[in-house]
């Protein structure tokens, strides 16, 4: 924390209403020196203050293009890291609450990925035969690993383009940390399920035989999103019984079975666009995070559409939820005083390697 920074404690007892006017006042004072980026999973009280909203790809581009001195990222840790990596060295990336991580990103770490690479080298020559692909939901050191080993980053929007690029260079892909995005995308590219094996990072050789590794086209890290794994085909079946004409739309972090039972699959931005673009009277069942679905429901009511959440239980991303108006206000009022708190700063060499893997992704993305 910067010297003389204002302490967070008094902010935690403020009501959301108290925060609202003060956030607006701080934004006004900071003017063009500040940009607030907000992911679609953010709660309304925070989301409404975002200058730009979007999915991971769109927000990465916003961060790369921004001229603002301060980039306050209302999202999770890996997003603020990407903002730091893609912005100029004199820009400052800030995450209002440092505990806003991503449980899926935490399922892969550098030690385990390096061990996997080393174990694969007992069977084949990974630097010649395997492209490492990391989902953007991962720590900066894993993006740097991909940069060092001729690999690349992907998001839910461009995973197919990234896999096509990867297979045009090397015969296999090691995909981490989300097995579902890897499997759903690979299957849509006509890769049979039996050619996609799961690497169990807790087992020697990922729990695979030498032959399984040699035969595989994609090696999928055994990671998943705890929010999207709550969705089940039985939810879709029950809904379809009640509303046979309903349309089903899901995020590709949902399971293979859920995505196969869906009419549309895509990123958060794609989901919002597709539902908005549908005809009046359309009924939707949506398999992604609750804050997004609730907002879409409210927006679409006026358009004569009904939007339903896929799971009977509450599936909020609890780490996205940690960004609250109180923390947003705290970082903004500190910025007004010239104290950047909660800065996210990726070490220079790691950032350079991670940037090369991110840049490859940006160069080939539609
Ligand atoms: P999007 O890039 O589709 O917004 O997804 C980010 C994410 O974390 C979904 O869980
Ligand atoms: Fe991570 Fe899942 Fe939350 Fe997305 S919804 S940020 S993948 S935990």
Q: Residues 34-62: pLDDT tens digits?
A: 999 999 999 999 999 999 999 999 999 99
Residues 13 and 82 placed together within one structural domain of the fold: yes
| 258 and 146 co-located in one domain | no
Q: What pLDDT is attached to residue 366?
A: 87
With the C-alpha atoms ordered 272, 275, 277, 281, is the resulting torsion angle positive or negative?
A: negative
pLDDT single digits (tens) 101-112: 999 999 999 999
Question: With contact defined as beta carbons under 8 Å apart, do 251 and 268 qualify?
Answer: yes
Q: Phi first, then psi: give them for residue 38, nearest 5 degrees.
A: -130, 125
Residues with CB under 6 A from ligand 2: 76, 102-104, 137, 225-227, 253, 289, 317, 319-320
- Residues 82-127 pLDDT 10s: 999 999 999 999 999 999 999 999 999 999 999 999 999 999 999 9
Q: How confident is the model at residue 77 (pLDDT cuts 50, 70, 90)?
A: very high
Residue 241 shares a structural domain with residue 198:
no
From the CA of 315, which ligand is nearest?
A: 2
Pairing of strands 152-154, 130-135: parallel
Cβ proximity of 137 and 153 under 8 Å? no
Q: How far apart are CA 301 and CA 297, in angstroms?
A: 6
What is the tens place of the pLDDT at every residue in 242-269? 999 999 999 999 999 999 999 999 999 9
Q: What is the CA radius of gyration of the chain?
A: 21
Task: Tell me, yes or no, whether 115 and 84 share the same domain.
Answer: no
Whether residue 363 lies inside any domain: the answer is no
The tens digit of pLDDT for each residue in 346-364 reads 999 999 999 999 999 999 9
For residue 357, is it within any domain? no
- Region for residue 150 given its phi and psi (left: phi exceeds 0; alpha: psi -120 to 50; beta: otherwise): left
Question: Within a domain: residue 299?
Answer: yes
Residue 192 sits in a domain whose CATH number is: 3.40.50.10800
Indicate if the pLDDT at residue 71 is higher than 60.
Answer: yes
**Do both 209 and 235 map to the same domain?**
no
With beta carbons less than 8 A apart as the criterion, state whether 253 and 224 touch. Answer: yes
Q: Give me the pLDDT at residue 332, please.
A: 98
87 and 116 housed in the same domain? no
Which are the contacts of 245, defined by CB distance < 8 A and separation ≥ 6? 283
Query: In the prediction, which pLDDT does 4 show?
Result: 79
- Where is the domain boundary, 210, 226, 242? 226
Strand order in the sheet with 52-54: 52-54, 34-39, 70-74, 92-94
136 among the known binding-site residues? yes
Which residues is 249 bridged to in the sheet? 264, 286
Residues 47, 81, single domain; the answer is yes
pLDDT of 5 > 80? The answer is: yes
Which among 158, 192, 226 is the end of a domain?
226
Answer yes or no: is pLDDT of 213 > 60.
Answer: yes
Q: Is 253 in the pocket of ligand 1 (CB under 6 A)?
A: yes
> Are residues 108 and 138 in contact, defined by beta-carbon separation less than 8 angstroms?
yes
Consult the annotation and say whether 315 binds a ligand: no
Residue 366 placed within a domain:
no
Residues 6 or more apart in contact with residue 362 via CB below 8 angstroms: 60, 61, 64
Mean pLDDT rounded to a whole number for the chain = 97
> 79 CA to middle of ligand 2, Å?
11
71 pairs with which residues across the strands? 35, 93
pLDDT value of position 3? 60
* Residue 251, annotated as binding a ligand: yes
Question: Whose alpha carbon is nearest atom 6 of ligand 1?
Answer: 56
Residue 259 annotated in ligand binding: no
Residue 296 inside a domain? The answer is yes
Widest Cα–Cα separation across the chain:
63
79 lines ligand 1 (CB under 6 A): no
Residue 84 and residue 135 in one domain: no
- Give yes or no: residues 202 and 269 share one domain: no
Mean predicted confidence (pLDDT) in 134-157: 98
Q: What pTM was estimated for this model as a whole?
A: 0.97
Decide if pLDDT at 2 tops 80.
no
| Domain carrying residue 157 | 105-226
Which atom of ligand 1 lies at the shortest distance from residue 317's CA?
Answer: 10
Q: Are residues 26 and 85 in the same domain?
A: yes
- Which residues contact residue 102 at a Cβ distance below 8 angstroms, ignoring those fewer than 6 apart? 76, 77, 78, 137, 319
Does residue 110 sit in the same domain as residue 160? yes
């Amino acid at each position: 924390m910067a010297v003389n920074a204002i302490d967070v404690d008094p902010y935690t007892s403020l009501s959301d209403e108290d925060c609202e006017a003060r956030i607006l006042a701080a934004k006004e004072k900071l003017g063009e020196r500040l940009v607030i980026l907000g992911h679609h999973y953010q709660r309304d009280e925070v989301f409404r203050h975002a200058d730009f909203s979007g999915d991971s790809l769109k927000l990465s581009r916003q961060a790369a293009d921004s001229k603002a001195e301060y980039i306050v990222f209302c999202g999770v840790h890996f997003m603020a890291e990407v903002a730091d990596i893609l912005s100029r060295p004199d820009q400052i990336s800030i995450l209002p609450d440092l505990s806003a991580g991503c449980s899926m990103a935490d399922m892969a770490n550098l030690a385990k990925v390096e061990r996997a690479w080393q174990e694969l080298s007992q069977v084949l020559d990974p630097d010649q035969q395997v492209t490492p692909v990391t989902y953007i939901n991962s720590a900066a050191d894993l993006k740097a690993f991909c940069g060092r080993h001729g690999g690349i980053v992907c998001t839910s929007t461009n995973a197919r383009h990234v896999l096509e690029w990867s297979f045009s260079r090397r015969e296999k892909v090691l995909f981490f940390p989300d097995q579902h995005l890897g499997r759903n995308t690979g299957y849509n590219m006509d890769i049979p399920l039996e050619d996609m094996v799961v690497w169990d990072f807790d087992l020697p050789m990922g729990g695979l035989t030498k032959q399984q590794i040699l035969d595989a086209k994609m090696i999928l890290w055994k990671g998943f999103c705890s929010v999207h794994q709550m969705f089940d085909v039985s939810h879709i079946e029950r809904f379809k019984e009640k509303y046979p004409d309903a349309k089903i739309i899901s995020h590709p972090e949902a399971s293979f079975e859920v995505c196969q039972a869906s009419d549309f699959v895509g990123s958060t931005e794609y989901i919002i666009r597709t539902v908005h673009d549908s005809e009046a009277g359309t009924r939707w069942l949506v398999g992604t995070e609750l804050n997004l679905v609730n907002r879409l429901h409210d927006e679409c009511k006026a358009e004569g559409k009904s939007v339903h959440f896929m799971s009977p239980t509450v599936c909020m991303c609890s780490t996205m939820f940690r960004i609250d108006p109180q923390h947003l206000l705290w970082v903004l009022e500190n910025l007004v005083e010239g104290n950047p708190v909660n800065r996210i700063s990726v070490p220079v060499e790691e950032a350079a390697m991670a940037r090369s893997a991110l840049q490859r992704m940006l160069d080939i993305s539609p």
